[in-house]
């Protein structure tokens, strides 16, 4: 009897610990969770919509996205992955030179929920160093891979002087099933000022060639924002 109670207690304690560990994870999908945790998913711009891109830089995708943004006179924030920045530092610098912001998406693209705090701390340091060296400025924003923080890693990000930022809607452009039409529709249907939109300028961690659909969707997205009298701005 006592052994059975002890096992149940251990199981309950383990479950409670797991829930506490993953408690910030719903913020990726729920605005109330973001608010409760103090994670930003909006921009403070009266007529602006925050435009953001994850997973780059990419040898073809990033340049194509930059061209479309220049044509639409739009600005954005690129959340870059350190290991990709080390491969293409000049491309990271080009993003900044074009007037866009950069944030840290990690040194590698690994889910925080499966990493020890020590591993995430090392990931943040290496990623921030790679971005600072390539662009000449340290990042001030952080977005985790898959949008998932653990309780410990959320604290680590803040202690590192970085602001955690997520999004309010995404285009699911990483999916093999996405089309330029579906991407733009998901982002602009009933879009409101202050929202943060998530896209990807790279296919390093997504369906092969997904960046091409994102690039094709951008003119539709920017035209729809212009019709709504909304400006695409950095996060």
pLDDT, residue 131, reads 98
Long-range contacts at 222-226 (CB < 8 A, ≥ 24 apart):
222/68, 222/69, 222/72, 222/74, 223/72, 224/184, 224/188, 224/191, 225/49, 225/74, 225/188, 225/191, 226/72
Encode pLDDT of 170-192 as tens digits: 999 999 999 999 999 999 999 99
- pTM value? 0.91
pLDDT, residue 178, reads 98
pLDDT, residue 23, reads 76
Assigned CATH topology for domain 2-233: TIM Barrel (3.20.20)
Catalytic residue, candidates 105, 142, 170, 200: 200
**Burial class of residue 94, CB neighbours in 10 A (0-12, 13-18, 19+):** middle
Output the average pLDDT for the chain.
91
> Which letter does DSSP use for residue 169 in this model?
E
Q: What is the mean pLDDT of residues 156-180?
A: 97
pLDDT, residue 216, reads 98
The closest of 23, 54, 74, 27 to 168, measured between CA atoms, is: 27
Encode pLDDT of 89-104 as tens digits: 999 999 999 999 999 9
Encode pLDDT of 19-35 as tens digits: 456 679 888 889 999 99
Q: Is 200 a catalytic residue?
A: yes
Catalytic residue, candidates 54, 123, 173, 203: 54
pLDDT, residue 7, reads 52
Report residue 5's pLDDT band, with 50, 70 and 90 as the boundaries: low
pLDDT, residue 21, reads 62
Place of tokens 């390539």: 134
């Amino acid at each position: 009897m006592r052994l059975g109670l002890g096992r149940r207690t251990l199981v309950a304690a383990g479950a409670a610990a797991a829930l506490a560990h993953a408690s910030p994870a719903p913020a990726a999908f729920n605005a109330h969770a973001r608010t409760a945790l103090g994670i930003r998913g909006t921009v403070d711009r009266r007529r602006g919509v925050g435009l953001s891109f994850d997973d780059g830089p990419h040898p073809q995708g990033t340049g194509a996205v930059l061209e479309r943004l220049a044509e639409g006179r739009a600005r954005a924030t690129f959340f870059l992955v350190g290991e990709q920045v080390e491969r293409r530092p000049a491309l990271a610098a080009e993003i900044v030179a074009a007037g866009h912001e950069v944030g840290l998406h990690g040194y590698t693209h690994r889910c925080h929920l499966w990493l020890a705090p020590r591993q995430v701390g090392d990931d943040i340091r290496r990623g921030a160093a790679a971005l600072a060296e390539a662009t000449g400025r340290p990042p001030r924003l952080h977005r985790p891979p898959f949008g998932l923080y653990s309780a410990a890693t959320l604290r680590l990000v803040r202690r590192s002087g970085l602001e955690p930022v997520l999004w309010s809607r995404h285009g699911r452009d990483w999916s093999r099933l996405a089309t330029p039409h579906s991407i733009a529709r998901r982002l602009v249907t009933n879009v409101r000022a202050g929202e943060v939109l998530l896209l990807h300028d790279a296919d390093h961690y997504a369906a092969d060639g997904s960046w091409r659909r994102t690039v094709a969707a951008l003119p539709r997205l920017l035209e729809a924002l212009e019709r709504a009298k909304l400006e695409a701005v950095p996060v």
